[in-house]
Amino acid sequence: TCGPNLPGSPPVPLSSCGSTLSSLAMGAGSVPARYLVYFQYLGTDFNGVAAVRGVQRAVGVQNYLEEAAERLNSVMPVKFTISSRTDAGVHALSNAAHLDIQRRSDLPPFSPEVLTEALNTHLKHPAIRVLQAFRVPSHFHARHAAISRTYLYRLATGCPRPDRLPVFERNRCWALQADCLDVAAMQEAAQHLLGTHDFSAFQSAGSPASSPVRTLRRASVSPDPASPFVLPEESRQLQFWSMEFESQSFLYKQVRRMTAVLVAVGLGALMPAQVKAILESRDPLGKHQSRVAPAHGLFLKSVLYEGLGKRK
């Protein structure tokens, strides 16, 4: 096998690796080499992951990645094709992208390890880090080949005002003014969202998706361990919670809208059965769908790949 093998993800069998490597050996550096790159970022300072073109003051994570790649002296400009777009303020524990690098004909392709180190050396923003790189076939596509994406949403209860949240947790969770959540009711409500449905009721305007049908494989709510950034005298009031959602792909702001509705259930503003009615309404403008969970509590946790091309 070759390709991504991050902790918790299966190895990726690539039937075409042998032929790809053979062709590279015959003409090292004469054709572009394609890489899959995993990277992480704190989204607070960015207008999302996608590059912002033109003279706007806003900037995306992709801008910094491509700026770092310019220092690699590729014959052709390097463009990152992002697997999963995230909005302004959203973080990523692990996002992914593919890129092509064509070196001069007298130079061999970068090894994945050298590419990772070089990109990190040239990155000019401390909130971005390249985790790992892999050689992949030239037909590989980081967005289309993903078989699973998992998002994590972090909540905090017992915080009467946002300024009472420890500074190390600000912009990393949604601080609710409630003292507790009815987690059992949230878990019951989440069951209505599992499976294949038309998720139009949880889609924000501006979605480029051609179909609102998605398959939600997992939706969980669980208490988090005590945050290491909370002082002991504060930990008696503050409680942190994690919500996770897994699907092959999501609609625009679908996770944040589902989070907001499930939090409403946890706070007693909605009954679990009403979530099924909201889903079946297919109406994104309904009374209970108007709220979207804040971006700063959301993390893209993982993007997984399996069989690229035919299996051996």
Token pair listed for 20 = 């790809």
Delineate the domains of the chain, giving CATH numbers in brackets. Answer: 33-135 (3.30.70.580), 147-305 (3.30.70.660)
What is the pLDDT at residue 159? Answer: 86
DSSP calls for 16-49: THHHHHHHHHHTTTTSPEEEEEEEEE-GGGSS-S
C-alpha span between 112 and 195 (Å, rounded): 37
Catalytic residue flag (residue 283) = no
151 among the known binding-site residues?
yes
CA-angle at 106, arms to 102 and 112, nearest 5°: 50
What is the pLDDT at residue 47? Answer: 95
Residue type, 235: S
Length in residues, the chain = 312
Count CB atoms within 10 A of the CB of residue 195.
10
Instruction: Determine phi and psi for 132, rounding to 5 degrees.
Output: -170, 155
Residue type, 176: L
- Cα 67 to its chain centre, rounded Å, is 21
For residue 157, pLDDT beyond 50? yes
CA atoms within 13 A on the CB side of 276: 10
For residue 95, pLDDT beyond 80? yes
Give residue-wise pLDDT tens across range 243-254.
999 999 999 999
Mean pLDDT for the chain? Answer: 88
What is the pLDDT at residue 307? Answer: 63
Phi-psi region of 297 (alpha: psi -120 to 50; beta: other; left: phi over 0): alpha
Beta pairing, strands 195-198 & 128-136: unpaired
C-alpha span between 296 and 256 (Å, rounded): 10
Catalytic residue among 87, 179, 182, 283: 87
Give residue-wise pLDDT tens across range 182-238.
999 999 999 999 999 999 999 988 777 889 999 999 999 999 887 888 887 776 788
